[in-house]
Chain A
Amino acid sequence: MSTQADALTIDDIPGARIKPKLGRDDWLMRGFIAMIAIYLVVALALPLYAMLSKAFSTYSYDLTQFEFQVSDDQGVFDGKILSAKALNDALKIYSESDLSAGSGGRLAVTKLFPKFSFRSPKLYRVRGTSDKAVYLIGSERHSGREWVELDSNKFRRVVLRPVPSTGLSNFSTYFSTPALVNSIKNSLLISAISTIITVTLAFAFAYSLNRSCMRFKGMFRLIAMAPILVPSLLPGIALVYLFGNQGMLKSFMLGESIYGPIGIVIGSVFFTFPHAMLIISTALAISDARLYEAAVSLRASSWKTFWTVTIPGARYGLISAAFVVFNLVITDFGLPKVIGGQFNMLAVDIYKQVIGQQNFEMGAVVSVVLLVPAMFAFGIDRVVQRKQVALLTSRSVVYQPTPNGRFDRLSFAYCTLVAIFIVGILGVCQYAALVKFWPYDLSLSLKNYAFDLMDGGGWDAYRNSIKMAGLVAFFGTVVVFVGAYMVEKTQGFKYGRSLFQFLAMLPMAIPGMVLGLAYIFFFNNPDNPLNFIYGTMAILVLCTVTHFYTVSHLTAVTALKQMDNEFESVNSSLKQPFYKLFMRVSVPVSLPAILDISIYLFVNAMTTVSAVVFLYSSGTALAAIAVLNMDDAGDVAPAAAMGMMIFYTNAGARIVHLVISKFVLKRTQGWRAR
């Protein structure tokens, strides 16, 4: 019987395929998935598309498209038609490179007429040879093949507009500009060096925390996490105070300048340290004690055990940490902006092209170039993370360190050094903020906190930041958790869900600068019906939620994965709507993860610079951007003061989060205790 049945294939299935009748729940869920998918498409996919198309769109003047006639001094035309191309070929006024332009380019026509005078009695006629030809008379737009007659005074105000086309010419321009191409090398080099240093330091720190019996582990862990609470450019300011031209420890630099690669690397190590430490610490925490017992029973030396057990066990964590750090450094904008000096990096180039030179196409090109290493690092990290998870689920015995006097003292000394570095950087910033006039008047005052007297947005910027962080934390958590629930716990609608999953992972691979620039292209387009949110708080919230979507999404998915998949089945068998289960079980059980997501979003919204630097308006300046702008304007002490305000706010938020977690968990998670 079974041998015969084994030969059957899906082509043997008789009758019509069953089409599920969709219940009310199915429709509601599809509605939710569609809504959040639309959110991700609008907030991510479309802006990125707009940016990509910008990078490949080129503008140039097509002189064959314009023709002129010139009259004699009596205003009589002899009917001779002059092509702009022929005129230019004869006179060689505009070179090939003059004829390639930006989207806003304008080409003056009168240069093609060397004897032109706006006082002459001659009359001029101008027309296009195709419907696409566009020229301006003053600011009035003209197109078409009809002759337009103008006196000389008007004719001098005629300018030609470029024609758009698609091509790689922006890239060829980019790669033939040494100043720009140099940034690729600089960015890769700085990121690689910072990665090696950070991962080494973080590994030693995590190893000390996990494998020694030193004292004050909790305090060390807390200090190591502190850099997460400040914008990445803050260490730059501290380094200026320490090693800058008027720095306290300038002699330590032995004549080298802190402005440039050295400063960027030190600052990068500071702000990426907690990320690396956390990942490596997790990897070390899950390694199996039984392997160490085996090593001891085989009489392996501790050196050998380290290389054959510890390092292989933590290898995924190390690789993952390396790529995360690499990604953070190469996409960071604030730090090289503050302390990079003349040393160019990709992320800063985007800013300079867009804000400094208003060359949006070139900004888009640099963004595409920056996307390549960021995507690559992201891809590798994802693969490695998956393997790490596989290690985690195996049944292992937790390693318990035993006291070892020498090793514990060494660990303590090392961690103290790292802690001094971190606390020192923050301390210098706080000291700088309080000093009256560095380095001439070292008496303390609060005058640097009078932000309203400086450029950058004043105290309003600080209030805006808190408001934005609050909004991001609230709406972001709702969107992320509902989205994760829909992906994780619904059935059917397979393609919609996998598209959603892809979109949810994408933000991590998109550098903030790139996202911000993409938003300009997409939302600042007057044809976009969403154009009205440009320049408002809403676009800042939207951009920030999207920027930090992936990590939040993964946190939510992890929490939901721990929940029994049959809850949904039981719920529908009891004829209850899915939202009842969602509100009464899924949300309460996931509350710790939900609180984690909201604090993650809050802290990052307070410190982010890169994505929002393109999007704030005078009414929506943010604290972190105020730090940047005040530093730019030379108000370095107030910049440090504002940076420390962000630190205290985030530290306060974390404490509140801790208290709320304790309180809420006590009330809602009572069932966890047996």
Chain B
Amino acid sequence: MEILWGNTVVNPFLKIDNLWKAFGNFLALKEISLEIYEGEFVCFLGPSGCGKTTLLRAIAGLDLQTSGSVEQAGTDISNLPPAERDFGIVFQSYALFPNLSIEKNIAYGLENSGMAKPAIKARVAELLELVGLPDQGRKFPAQLSGGQQQRIALARAIAMEPGLLLLDEPLSALDAKVRVHLRHEIKELQRKLGVTTVMVTHDQEEGLSMADRIVVMNHGVIEQVGTPTEIYRDPKTLFVADFIGEMNQIEGVAGSSSFAKIGDIKLSCQPHEFAAGENVTVTIRPEDIIPHGVGVRSSDAKSTIAEPDNTLDMKIASMEFLGSFWRAELSGEKLGAAHLNANFSINAMRRMELEVGRELKVELPSSRLKAFARAS
């Protein structure tokens, strides 16, 4: 497939076509097809064991796929050994050579590439500058912190200006604070260099904040590909809905075209293709639930309800303070045993005097309410 960017046709830089990988009788990857464009930052996101690292290693040639093809920059590289491909790689363990100094680690790949010694020296200095560690060249890896070591690993991976940068859980071994900091730095560096990058992570926050596009994987298949906002706002499968962010899941029954029933309540939701009466799971994110006070300034509140038919009478069963907002657990007679989690801003809490035991009306906007096939 080709896409149009302005008036020019852009071919994918990396093209994976119907790729499968079997370990004995276990299928680690199934019918994977994916296109990645030049300069893109793509994240493979999924729980452990979903096949994301296997896919990365197939792209690198470190563990060849069982069948299917990989094309990079127009060349079929499906069966090439890693040394004949064009990529740099960074691992969770840094994999810095412990007995070589930082300088020598970075220069390792440059050494017999026909580069003169002074040129190598200059390049190493430039790379050290680039990753923000200009004075650390003579030290050994063990003398640096984890975050610093990972930056050196990054410098070593981009030293030979590879066409593709592969990052295998690069931040997972680091402390939470360092991780957030390095996230920005890597993203910044990638933008500066414009190198096509694939990163594997199980941390959705990492994926959402760094990637141009996210590939959500589960059980060896691609569940959805999209920008972070698309993935978050418009999950295509229940797995994606559940895996990315928080999601209320309520068992219900499909109504006609854009309706669903939960218990006795009929709610309008996003258009779906289920037959009326089919079992579905209805979902909504906690932050999409809009609270409307009951009793207190009810006339005022009523005027703001956009979809009066999509409101429920609920009671606050418990509350939890999460810093920038409150998480309220709501229960209602008509919902039966099910309950809803809602995020209420501190402002709304104060304004509506919400507290445990309080009854209130909540609105579930139909555009945010989505029905999925119920998980068996």
Determine if B325 is an interface residue (Cβ-Cβ < 8 Å).
no
| Cα separation A245 to B143 with both chains bound (whole Å) | 66
Binds B, one of A171-179, A298-306, A563-571: A563-571
Determine if B249 is an interface residue (Cβ-Cβ < 8 Å).
no
B residues 23-68 touching A (CB-CB < 8 Å) = 25, 27, 30-31, 60, 62-68
| Cα separation A570 to B87 with both chains bound (whole Å) | 10
Residues of the A chain whose Cβ atoms lie less than 8 Å from the Cβ of B95: 564, 566-567, 569-570
Residues of the B chain whose Cβ atoms lie less than 8 Å from the Cβ of A5: 30-31, 219-221
Q: How far is the CB of A40 from chain B (nearest CB, A)?
A: 27
Query: Across the interface, do A672 and B89 meet the contact criterion of CB distance under 8 Å?
Result: no
Determine if A404 is an interface residue (Cβ-Cβ < 8 Å).
no
Q: How far is the CB of B46 from chain A (nearest CB, A)?
A: 11
A residues 1-39 touching B (CB-CB < 8 Å) = 1-3, 5-6, 8-10, 12-23, 25-26
| Cα separation A588 to B140 with both chains bound (whole Å) | 14
Determine if B141 is an interface residue (Cβ-Cβ < 8 Å).
yes
Binds A, one of B73-81, B115-123, B250-258, B304-312: B73-81
| Cα separation A429 to B275 with both chains bound (whole Å) | 97
Query: Across the interface, do A575 and B100 meet the contact criterion of CB distance under 8 Å?
Result: no
Determine if A585 is an interface residue (Cβ-Cβ < 8 Å).
yes
Query: Across the interface, do A674 and B82 meet the contact criterion of CB distance under 8 Å?
Result: no
Query: Across the interface, do B218 and A18 meet the contact criterion of CB distance under 8 Å?
Result: no
Q: How far is the CB of B165 from chain A (nearest CB, A)?
A: 10
Residues of the A chain whose Cβ atoms lie less than 8 Å from the Cβ of B62: 569, 572
Kindly name the residue among A8, A25, A580 whose own CB sees the greatest number of chain B CB atoms within 10 A.
A8
Q: How far is the CB of B152 from chain A (nearest CB, A)?
A: 12
Residues of the A chain whose Cβ atoms lie less than 8 Å from the Cβ of B99: 585, 588-589, 668-669, 671
Selected from A6, A19, A570, the residue in CB contact (under 8 A) with B91 is A570
Given A8-B27, A20-B81, A21-B79 in contact, is the A589-B98 Cβ separation under 8 Å? Answer: yes
Determine if B232 is an interface residue (Cβ-Cβ < 8 Å).
no
Q: How many A-B residue pairs have CB under 8 A?
A: 134
Residues of the A chain whose Cβ atoms lie less than 8 Å from the Cβ of B143: 674
| Cα separation A428 to B98 with both chains bound (whole Å) | 49
Selected from B80, B221, B239, the residue in CB contact (under 8 A) with A21 is B80
Determine if B142 is an interface residue (Cβ-Cβ < 8 Å).
yes
Interface string of B87-104 (1 = CB under 8 A from A): 111010101011110000
Query: Across the interface, do B97 and A576 meet the contact criterion of CB distance under 8 Å?
Result: no
Residues of the A chain whose Cβ atoms lie less than 8 Å from the Cβ of B220: 5
Determine if B18 is an interface residue (Cβ-Cβ < 8 Å).
yes
Residues of the B chain whose Cβ atoms lie less than 8 Å from the Cβ of A572: 62, 81-83
| Cα separation A171 to B19 with both chains bound (whole Å) | 59
Selected from B30, B97, B157, B218, the residue in CB contact (under 8 A) with A584 is B97
Selected from B31, B78, B159, B219, the residue in CB contact (under 8 A) with A18 is B78
| Cα separation A16 to B18 with both chains bound (whole Å) | 12
Query: Across the interface, do B79 and A20 meet the contact criterion of CB distance under 8 Å?
Result: yes
Query: Across the interface, do B83 and A25 meet the contact criterion of CB distance under 8 Å?
Result: yes
Determine if A670 is an interface residue (Cβ-Cβ < 8 Å).
yes
Selected from B78, B82, B239, the residue in CB contact (under 8 A) with A2 is B239
What residue of chain B has the Cβ atom nearest to residue A591's Cβ?
B99
Given A23-B84, A569-B91 in contact, is the A2-B67 Cβ separation under 8 Å? Answer: no
Selected from A10, A13, A16, A671, the residue in CB contact (under 8 A) with B141 is A671
Main secondary structure of the interface of B (DSSP, over half): loop
Q: How far is the CB of A365 from chain B (nearest CB, A)?
A: 43
Query: Across the interface, do B81 and A21 meet the contact criterion of CB distance under 8 Å?
Result: yes
Query: Across the interface, do B100 and A1 meet the contact criterion of CB distance under 8 Å?
Result: no
Q: How far is the CB of B261 from chain A (nearest CB, A)?
A: 24
Residues of the A chain whose Cβ atoms lie less than 8 Å from the Cβ of B299: none
Determine if A90 is an interface residue (Cβ-Cβ < 8 Å).
no
| Cα separation A673 to B143 with both chains bound (whole Å) | 8
Number of contact residues on A: which range applies? 35 or more
Selected from A9, A10, A573, the residue in CB contact (under 8 A) with B60 is A573
Determine if A254 is an interface residue (Cβ-Cβ < 8 Å).
no
Determine if B376 is an interface residue (Cβ-Cβ < 8 Å).
yes
Selected from B27, B157, B223, B237, the residue in CB contact (under 8 A) with A9 is B27
Q: How far is the CB of B85 from chain A (nearest CB, A)?
A: 8
| Cα separation A21 to B162 with both chains bound (whole Å) | 21
| Cα separation A574 to B141 with both chains bound (whole Å) | 18
Determine if B186 is an interface residue (Cβ-Cβ < 8 Å).
no
Residues of the A chain whose Cβ atoms lie less than 8 Å from the Cβ of B100: 584-585
Query: Across the interface, do B64 and A18 meet the contact criterion of CB distance under 8 Å?
Result: yes
Query: Across the interface, do B97 and A585 meet the contact criterion of CB distance under 8 Å?
Result: yes
| Cα separation A566 to B60 with both chains bound (whole Å) | 12
Kindly name the residue among B20, B78, B88, B159 whose own CB sees the greatest number of chain A CB atoms within 10 A.
B20
Selected from A1, A9, A23, A585, the residue in CB contact (under 8 A) with B81 is A23
Interface string of A641-674 (1 = CB under 8 A from B): 0000000000000000000000000001111111
Q: How far is the CB of A144 from chain B (nearest CB, A)?
A: 59
Given A15-B18, A576-B109, A585-B99 in contact, is the A25-B27 Cβ separation under 8 Å? Answer: no
Selected from A1, A19, A23, A491, the residue in CB contact (under 8 A) with B237 is A1
Residues of the B chain whose Cβ atoms lie less than 8 Å from the Cβ of A569: 60, 62, 82, 89, 91, 95
| Cα separation A573 to B154 with both chains bound (whole Å) | 13
Given A23-B83, A23-B84, A671-B141 in contact, is the A18-B223 Cβ separation under 8 Å? Answer: no
Q: How far is the CB of B87 from chain A (nearest CB, A)?
A: 6
Query: Across the interface, do A566 and B79 meet the contact criterion of CB distance under 8 Å?
Result: no
Selected from B25, B64, B85, the residue in CB contact (under 8 A) with A10 is B25
What residue of chain A has the Cβ atom nearest to residue B82's Cβ?
A572
What residue of chain B has the Cβ atom nearest to residue A587's Cβ?
B99
Query: Across the interface, do B142 and A13 meet the contact criterion of CB distance under 8 Å?
Result: no
| Cα separation A629 to B20 with both chains bound (whole Å) | 67
What residue of chain B has the Cβ atom nearest to residue A24's Cβ?
B83
Kindly name the residue among B25, B63, B89, B223 whose own CB sees the greatest number of chain A CB atoms within 10 A.
B89
Query: Across the interface, do A576 and B27 meet the contact criterion of CB distance under 8 Å?
Result: no
Given A9-B27, A13-B67, A585-B100 in contact, is the A670-B140 Cβ separation under 8 Å? Answer: yes
Residues of the B chain whose Cβ atoms lie less than 8 Å from the Cβ of A15: 18, 67-68
| Cα separation A6 to B62 with both chains bound (whole Å) | 25
Interface string of A353-385 (1 = CB under 8 A from B): 000000000000000000000000000000000
Query: Across the interface, do A671 and B98 meet the contact criterion of CB distance under 8 Å?
Result: yes
B residues 133-174 touching A (CB-CB < 8 Å) = 140-143, 156-157, 159-160, 162
Given A566-B93, A573-B87, A573-B88 in contact, is the A2-B27 Cβ separation under 8 Å? Answer: no
| Cα separation A324 to B77 with both chains bound (whole Å) | 51
Apart from A10-B22, A22-B81, list 16 A-B contacts with CB within 8 A: A2-B218, A2-B223, A9-B25, A10-B25, A10-B66, A17-B67, A18-B79, A20-B64, A569-B82, A570-B156, A572-B62, A572-B83, A574-B108, A576-B108, A580-B112, A584-B97
Instruction: Please list 22 pairs of residues, one from A and one from B, whose beta carbons are closer than 8 Å in the complex, sorted by A's number.
Output: A1-B223, A8-B27, A8-B30, A13-B20, A13-B67, A14-B18, A18-B67, A18-B79, A21-B79, A23-B84, A566-B95, A569-B62, A569-B95, A572-B82, A573-B85, A573-B87, A574-B156, A574-B160, A585-B98, A589-B98, A671-B99, A671-B141
